[in-house]
Structures are given as structure tokens and as C-alpha cells.
Structure 1
Amino acid sequence: MNDNKQEKNINDNTKDEKKPCSKRKIILFDLDSTLIDCEVIDELGRLNNVEKEVEQITKDAMDGKLEFEQALEKRVQLLKGLSEKQILEFLESIQLMNGAKETLFKLKENGYITGVVSGGFTFATERIKDVLNLDYQFANELVYKDGKLTGEVIKNVSSKLAKGEILTKIAEKENIDLKDTVVVGDGANDISMFNIAGLGIAFCAKPILKDRADYCIDEKDLSNILKILKIE
């Protein structure tokens, strides 16, 4: 990363090599605190009475103080015994981030291929994919036995390079150059896709990701993305 690169707010008119343009046709979003207004694993921790322990591990991971794969394993172990019924009830309570529906509708209307890639879980990404009519979803899978979590997880998005690898695969499949891609996220595990995307937008993000972003949005309203991409 270039240390001289300056963070830009959505109202900053400074010219940059990565100026948004209508050519970009893939946009990938993180899930937690980006497309939805919560951290799923923290909420599951609350349901299993391990809220503080899970939240601290999440914070350390998002701040880049703990490898995400290790953090994922530790947190899922704390969820052991949580019932599938409790998780499905929680799923019904998940709230979209402000502006999410409007933003995704406009992006699709303008020809963008859309997706969610999360270090969280498929029960949530699959639901959000359906609700927002996304083209792709990638996440980890919780393991159940007799209707309860075993404390194990099938790791599909767990390494620090996972999101970048997924973006690359989607771009290859869709025959779109990486310079014509946009990514939106808020934490350290989004860095790999920010490093290779044409445009990176940090959404209410941790400092470690803001340092790698082309634009930063500090208001909890996803429709600000449309301003950056010059979509009306």
C-alpha cells in the first residue's frame, strides 16, 4: 500500500486513478454491519449467553489483532448447543442496513452483478441473497447434530485471502476485468478483496480497512454508494 494515499470521504472531489465509472459491473458486499445492521455471530453469542466473549474475539479479528480463521473457530466453539430453532427465529429478526434495498435495486438496474461474501454463515447469506436478489453468496456453514450446533464449522470463507480469491473467481466466471469491480466492507477480513478490486469502499469501517479504501462512508446508509458510483 502507498503510505501517501489519502483517505477520501464521499464528498471529496479529489481526483484519483480509481475514479468511479459506469464500466464497473461487479460489486461484492460484506454481510455483517454492511448489508445488515448487526454482527450475526455476536447476536448468536447473546442467544447462547456468551455475548461478551464472542464480541471481544470479533473485535480483535476485525481490528486485525487476531487471524480470522482462528477467531472463527473460537467463536463457533462458544456457540455449541445452540438450537437450530433459535437460529431460525433469530434469522427472522435480522434487519437490512438502511438504504440496502434501494441501493441493490439501483445497482441491478444499472447492470451490476451483485454478491455477498461473508466470514459469517450461509443461513444468513442465503436469506439476504433472496431478499436482495443477489447473484452470488459465499459464507461458512455451521454444523448441526440432533438439531443443535456441534461447535464445528465448514470453513469456506475463513482465511485472510479468501474474499480476494472469491472475487477473482467471480470475475473470471463473468469474464470481467478486476479493474471493473467494486467491493464494500468494514473489517480486516475484507482487505484481500480491497487489494485487488478496481474500487474499494469502506463502510463505517475499522481504521485498518479505511487505510486501504478509495472511499470511506461513515454514515449508516448504503445509498451513499450510489453517489460514489454516480448512479441516480
Structure 2
Amino acid sequence: MSDQKIKLIAFDMDGTLTSEHSSWEYLHRRMEIWHEKAHVFQDLFWAGKIDYAEFCRLDASLWQGTDCLRAAEILTEIQLRPRAGKVLRTLHRSGVKIALLSSGLKLLADQLAQILPFHHHLANELVCRDGSFTGEVLIHVSTDVRGLRKEDHLQNLMDKYNIRPEEAAAVGDSLGDLEMLRATPNALLIGAKDEDKHKIMRELPKIILLQELEDIFRHLPFRV
């Protein structure tokens, strides 16, 4: 870990700030379409048979005609990690720029942005028209398109605020966060599934494992 004071910290959303590992999957399950088709698309993506854009397109197509407000209401059921609000408000008061960079659902990210002090939040957007989803998706955060990946967005923020990598930090929970975590020497992992945790630790042996979000303050230097 760097001794430089941290000026910017980027958080993943699903499984990092929240209790659910995937807001996409949560909505599918609550609408009882996960076992019908949605899990098949996920399996195809992880097997490398479709790219991320196709994965999102197929997933979003399952919600065509669904009431947007009903989906937003369902997503309010997703809980934050314990003391997440307190941690982020403390970071904000210390002058740290806070970003949420997620390939999860913008519907949920927008809700969190109403109660958490993000300076920036980006996630993927289900297109809503006349109160219903069109089945289209706008990808703002991709896993495989250069310029739209989490690490690209983090680099853009470091450039914008003239922040060096050692003055930034990243917090994630899965292999999908690996390259964002690699973008700074201050990488932290929380709530990862065992398989993901072992793979990430092989790639980033100095990564810090958090039991609780508030452990951030024991591992990173902040201005006081």
C-alpha cells in the first residue's frame, strides 16, 4: 500500500457496496425469468461464446414491455453493506473524490446516488420509454470495450483531477473488477467468492482483503 494520501477511491457496486453480487440477476430472479433464459445468457458469456454487448442485449431483451417503475421498486429491496453510508460520508468529509463504477444496473446506481455522496457514478442503462422498458440497453461500463472498461473510467478520473495512481484506490468483489484493481497500488477486495478471491490474489498478491468496509480506514492513508 502507498503512503500517499488517498484523493480518489473507486467502488464497484454489486457485491461491494451492496449485499447482492448482481443487480441484473436479482431483478431476473424477482421477476421469475432467471431460470427460464437469463442464466443461459450468463453461461454463454462466461464461456466466451458471446461478448459483453451481446450478453447485455440478450438480458435486456427479456425485460421488454416491463414497467420501469416496478423494476425500480424491486431494486430498492437490495441492501447496502453494513455501515456503507457512514464509510462513504466519512470519506467525503475528508475530501476524497468518490466514484461508483459498475456494470450493474443504472436504476440501482441512481438510487444509491440519492443517499450516498458520489462525485461520479456510472452503470448500465435499461432504456425506458413511455413507462416501459424497450428491451434495449445503453452500455456505459463494459468488460471488454476499450474506453468503457472500469479501469478506463478510473484512469479518466485520475487524469481529470490530476491524481497519481498511488493517490487513488479501488474496491471490488470479483474478477470483473480485476483490471480496475490493477490500475492502482491501493487495491482492496471485499466479499469475493472463494474462486474469484484466489484468482485475484494470484494476480495481485498485495491486495488487501476487507472483512468490513470500514476496515478501509485501517489500510489506507487519508487526510484528516
Same fold, TM-score > 0.5, yes or no: yes
Letter in 1 for 2:25: D
Corresponding residue for 2:183? 196
Corresponding residue for 1:187? 174
Cα 1:197/1:60, change in 2 over 3 Å: farther
- Tell me the matched-pair count: 211
Corresponding residue for 2:55? 71
The one-character-per-residue Cα deviations of 1:57-98 (angstroms, maximum 9, x if unpaired) are: 55776xx64454443233222333321121121233221111
The one-character-per-residue Cα deviations of 1:92-144 (angstroms, maximum 9, x if unpaired) are: 32211112112112222322110100101222112212211111101111112
SS in 2 for 1:85: helix
TM-score normalised by length of structure 2 = 0.82
Cα 1:202/1:59, change in 2 over 3 Å: farther
Cα 1:130/1:58, change in 2 over 3 Å: farther
Q: Find 2:164's aligned residue among 177, 187, 190.
A: 177
1:107 and 1:116 map into 2 onto residues whose CA distance is: 13
Question: What RMSD over aligned residues (CA atoms) do the two structures have, in Å?
Answer: 2.4
SS in 1 for 2:82: coil
Corresponding residue for 2:19? 37
Residue 142 (structure 1) aligned with residue 142 (structure 2): no
Preserved contact between residue 105 and residue 126 of structure 2 (Cα < 8 Å) = yes
SS in 2 for 1:131: coil
What 5-or-longer segments of structure 2 have no aligned partner? Answer: none
Cα 1:68/1:212, change in 2 over 3 Å: farther
C-alpha deviation, 1:229, in angstroms: 1.5
What 5-or-longer segments of structure 1 have no aligned partner? Answer: 1-18
Q: In percent, how many aligned pairs have the same letter?
A: 24
Corresponding residue for 1:217? 209
SS in 2 for 1:115: strand
1:158 and 1:42 map into 2 onto residues whose CA distance is: 17
Segments ≥4 residues shifted beyond 6 Å:
none
Instruction: Show the 5 A alignment for 1:107-118.
Output: 107-118=91-102
2:62 and 2:73 map into 1 onto residues whose CA distance is: 19
1:212 and 1:81 map into 2 onto residues whose CA distance is: 42
Cα 1:113/1:193, change in 2 over 3 Å: same
C-alpha deviation, 1:28, in angstroms: 0.3
Residue 25 (structure 1) aligned with residue 22 (structure 2): no
Preserved contact between residue 150 and residue 179 of structure 2 (Cα < 8 Å) = yes
Letter in 1 for 2:56: L
C-alpha deviation, 1:228, in angstroms: 1.6
SS in 2 for 1:89: helix
C-alpha deviation, 1:37, in angstroms: 1.1
2:55 and 2:118 map into 1 onto residues whose CA distance is: 27
Cα 1:59/1:103, change in 2 over 3 Å: farther
Letter in 2 for 1:145: R
C-alpha deviation, 1:169, in angstroms: 0.7
Cα 1:60/1:184, change in 2 over 3 Å: farther
C-alpha deviation, 1:212, in angstroms: 3.5
Cα 1:211/1:147, change in 2 over 3 Å: farther
TM-score normalised by length of structure 1 = 0.79
1:24 and 1:124 map into 2 onto residues whose CA distance is: 27
Letter in 2 for 1:187: S
SS in 1 for 2:80: coil
Cα 1:54/1:34, change in 2 over 3 Å: farther
Instruction: Show the 5 A alignment for 1:74-113.
Output: 74-113=58-97
